[in-house]
Amino acid sequence: MAGQLGVLNALDVAKTQMYHFTAIVIAGMGFFTDAYDLFCISLVTKLLGRIYYTDYTKPKPGVLPPSIQAAVTGVALCGTLAGQLFFGWLGDKLGRKKVYGITLMLMVGCSLASGLSFSNSPKGVMATLCFFRFWLGFGIGGDYPLSATIMSEYANKKTRGAFIAAVFAMQGFGIMAGGMVALIVATAFDHKYKVPSYEEDAKASMVLPAFDYVWRIILMFGAVPAALTYYWRMKMPETARYTALVAKNAKQAASDMSKVLQVELEAEEEKVNKVVENENQKFGLFSKAFAKRHGLHLLGTTTTWFLLDIAFYSQNLFQKDIFTAIGWIPHAKEMNAIHELYRIARAQTLIALCSTVPGYWFTVAFIDYMGRFAIQLMGFFFMTVFMFALAIPYDHWKKKENRIGFVVMYSLTFFFANFGPNATTFVVPAEIFPARLRSTCHGISAAAGKAGAIVGAFGFLYAAQSKHKNETDEGYPTGIGVKNSLIMLGVVNFLGIVFTFLVPEAKGKSLEEMSGENEEDGDEAIEMAGSARTVPV
């Protein structure tokens, strides 16, 4: 384009180089840590229930009361939502690099502190655990807009989708790592303390304080990958797009990218000044100009991410039933505390290995060929199909001879979530908004997703309870049942298909072309933004 700065054009057309892969690893290790920290809590909640809430006179080991369970698993999601909004905004105000280090140190400190949880009374342990997991989530939240924005602003336009998706795909390895660490720790303690199952000898099935160290070690290990990448994050230069278009320092942008690209670049200060002084490019987030150019885009990215996360985080709905039904996890009383942790970790690791991880990397492989729109639409479509296929004949799937089929359908649902909207909802907001608002808009979109996660994880946890009081989980009120909950999730996924049509296709286009930052005439830019919404199907 005529208005394109040389330094930005050089980034757009640059061949894939080592710095691209370095950026993927540095940003991706943040997401590896995010996933480890967010998902490892589901591995240890059963153990926490046994340690702090077991009454040895009862036939079953203790479990976390519903309110405590909701707090322990949900407080990090609430922190993540707040962090996405705050650090997204701060990333546009202070720069991507400055804020990137803050989020990482917060994650390291709170990972360690959440494993310490200063008390030995149930109330004290849960209170301090929830406090530190909120702030851990706050740091994790900042990683979403910053990692996506940094990767999009470093990448070339030909393979930008794959690079951003690769950063997000590190989540799959983080989930797997959580399961593997739990397996290693559980195996080590099992060899050290050979104890009977709960129904054989309730008191002997729990060795305290030794077993209390198990969950702490698993949570604290999340600090390791984050700490390892801190040095490399601090060595990354600020992105040229932020330096040139927001900080208005053409000389620094050219200098930084000359080192990265290993070419001589001209500092085009006059052209930078022309771009940033253009009145048509000074509109704010809450202006009419933003609403006209990007209002529908922001509505599309927020609603699709919200709807996707309702379905994605509601997987706990039937995970427990599946694992018990196929014999991966026996009834709690038939195991001791360490064996239960081992079985849960093994099941999560197998699901991640066979379904979650491949889905992420299918997106990486195909996103720059198929486009974001096609992958997102396909993902929502198949999630809708499989949800209804699970829901309508639900009584059929409950029969013993059909349980393997149920697991296959369940796995395919999450394969198409990851080879679909779970990846594209992360990629697209980093590509379609102006540089000065990019991190903020990504943070808003991601926060909408976490609001959906909270609805999915807790709203459906209660909704999926049986209609009959004697069949509900202990402490829960009656709900609408798993079958009706699955039907509702099918409808949620169908709405995801509808709102996907508000999201523009960014395949093969520069970031400035998508946002209209190169356009000198406001009407021309608006016309361009409108045409970007027209997606070939």
| pTM score | 0.87
Cβ atoms of 269 and 243 within 8 Å: the answer is no
Tokens standing for 102? 């803050």
Q: Dihedrals φ, ψ of 503, to 5°?
A: -95, 125
pLDDT digits (tens, 9 = 90+) for 57-88: 888 888 888 888 888 888 999 999 999 999 99
- Residues 67 and 355: their CA atoms lie apart, in Å, by 31
Residues 277 and 299: their CA atoms lie apart, in Å, by 28
Supply the pLDDT for residue 300: 94
CA distance 61 to 206: 10
Residue 35 has pLDDT above 50, yes or no: yes
Q: Identity (one letter) of the amino acid at 340?
A: E
Q: Is the pLDDT of residue 325 over 70?
A: no
CA 432 to CA 449: how far, in whole Å?
18
Q: Of the ranges 277-286, 301-310, 355-364, 415-424, which one carries the lowest mean pLDDT score? A: 277-286
Six-digit token string for 458? 């807790």
Sketch out the chain's domains with CATH numbers.
Answer: 15-276+285-528 (1.20.1250.20)
Q: If pLDDT is split at 50, 70 and 90, which confidence band does 379 have? A: very high
- What sign has the CA pseudo-torsion 57, 58, 62, 67? negative
Closest CA to 156 of 301, 264, 19, 294: 19
